[in-house]
Amino acid sequence: MTAISYDDIVKAPKALLHDHLDGGLRPATIVELADAVGHELPETDPARLGEWFVAAADSGSLERYLETFAHTVAVMQTQEGLHRVAKECALDLAADGVVYAEIRYAPEQHLESGLTLDQVVDAVHAGFQDGTAEAAAQGRRIRVGTLLTAMRHAARSQEIAELAVRYRDQGVVGFDIAGAEAGFPPTRHLDAFEYLQRENFHFTIHAGEAFGLPSIWQAIQWCGADRLGHGVRIVDDITAGNLGRLASYVRDKRIPLELCPSSNVQTGAAASIAEHPIGLLKDLRFRVTVNTDNRLMSGTSMSKEMALLCEAFGWGWGELQWLTINAMKSAFIPYDERLAIINDEIKPAYAKLLA
């Protein structure tokens, strides 16, 4: 098999389910917005600031990794800042060949300058609308849905869940909880998850990243998560290819794993890309998807994650198509819309690449 070039991966259609809006800013934008709002940064040269984020996030701990978000969240406190960040997010993903993306952020973290939750969501959506329209004008079609995240250490999950449902016909396609995992189990937010189930709404839960099987078990069996944010520690329930009860359940029910290889290496959840459990989980036919998590903190993109996996595991177009269709099957938009993207965009493009 001839090696796949990075440029070819960029051109191939890709689907992204796990990407944080406040983890994907352009360094130059942070510098400009920080200047405008008087926020002090560790570096003011965009290239050096980008390197600072990757180095600081490369900490071996989720808690220290999350500290870097203070500098992105600080410049996302105005309608202008939120609009610009969302618009550039859509443009950057489209330029990387992403045709479908679910982008998440925590509205409760953007209220420091007096915005209301509704104003935050409206500004982000306007940004995504403008970004997708500009990308389309450049000949790049991308659909973006948002997931509203509640912070797991805080106590606003019910309010954010209600906000997500209120905006379900205006771009919000799901709900999530994020933040430090150890000490903050998903069941703290059970009321919110039960409310979402009664509303027939979709949600994913960050689980099995910095904490192991109990977190995954709660997310699935107590909270009813549709997907697992990371979920990588499900390998703790697999011994020499034999699946324990929880791992079997996750595989049998085709529960999607939103795996984020580079992010896991930085937080210490995996030792290296080559040793990342994604290889085993793919061989065992879990519903594996590949994601960026935080493009800024990991200095990555969808194409880069895929290129790293091709290099580490010898994967080719067949595997990349499988991952992309897995992601599209697991998306939170309606079934017919998912199918249209798979049949009209993904399959024809990969058929040519595989030929």
Query: Which residues are CB-contacts of 309 (< 8 A; sequence separation ≥ 6)?
Result: 261, 273, 278, 290, 315, 319
Q: Is 317 in the site for ligand 2ND (CB under 6 A)?
A: no
Catalytic residue chosen out of the listed positions 108, 181, 209, 305: 209
Query: What is the per-residue burial (b if ≥16 Cβ within 10 Å, else e) of 314-330?
Result: ebebebbbbbbbbbbbb
Supply the minimum distance, in Å, between the C-beta of residue 201 and ligand 2ND. 19
Q: Is 181 in the site for Zn ion (CB under 5 A)?
A: no
Alpha-carbon distance of 267 to 35, in angstroms, equals 30
By CB under 5 A, which span of 94-102, 213-221, 287-295, 324-332 interacts with Zn ion?
Answer: 287-295
Tell me how far the alpha carbon of residue 325 is from its chain's centroid: 16
Q: Is 149 in the site for ligand 2ND (CB under 6 A)?
A: yes
Q: Is 179 annotated as a binding residue?
A: yes
Residue 258: closest CA among 16, 8, 65: 16
Supply the minimum distance, in Å, between the C-beta of residue 21 and ligand 2ND. 6
Q: Distances in Å between the alpha carbon of 335 and those of 179, 214, 342? A: 30, 31, 11
Closer to ligand 2ND by CB, 161 or 342: give it. 161
Alpha-carbon distance of 160 to 218, in angstroms, equals 20
Q: Distances in Å between the alpha carbon of 52 and those of 23, 36, 289? A: 14, 21, 28
Residue from the set 176, 293, 305, 319 that interacts with Zn ion by CB under 5 A: 293
Q: Is 202 annotated as a binding residue?
A: no
Residue from the set 13, 23, 131, 145 that interacts with ligand 2ND by CB under 6 A: 23
Is residue 337 part of the annotated active site? The answer reads no
Which backbone phi and psi does 204 adopt, to 5 degrees? -120, 160
x-or-dash pattern for ligand 2ND, window 220-239, by CB under 6 A?
--------------------
- Interacting positions 86-145 with ligand 2ND (CB under 6 A): 104-106, 109
Q: Is 295 in the site for ligand 2ND (CB under 6 A)?
A: no
Tokens of 178: 């994020």
Q: Is 45 annotated as a binding residue?
A: no
Supply the minimum distance, in Å, between the C-beta of residue 209 and ligand 2ND. 5
x-or-dash pattern for ligand 2ND, window 248-287, by CB under 6 A?
---------------x------------------------
Q: Is 20 annotated as a binding residue?
A: yes
Closer to Zn ion by CB, 58 or 293: give it. 293
Q: Pick from ligand 2ND, Zn ion, none: which does 328 bind, CB < 5 to 8 A by kind?
A: none
Residue from the set 19, 22, 226, 237 that interacts with ligand 2ND by CB under 6 A: 22
Residue 60: closest CA among 232, 267, 231: 267
Long-range contact set of residues 196-199: C-beta below 8 Å, sequence gap at least 24: 196/161, 196/164, 196/165, 197/224, 199/165
For CA atoms 82, 16, 132, 335, the dihedral sign is negative
Tell me how far the alpha carbon of residue 137 is from its chain's centroid: 25
Q: Is 206 in the site for ligand 2ND (CB under 6 A)?
A: yes
Chain contacts with ligand 2ND (rule: CB under 6 A): 20, 22-23, 62, 66, 69, 73, 104-106, 109, 149, 178-179, 206, 209, 263, 293-294
Active site residues: 209
Feature table: binding site for Zn(2+): 18, 20, 206, 293
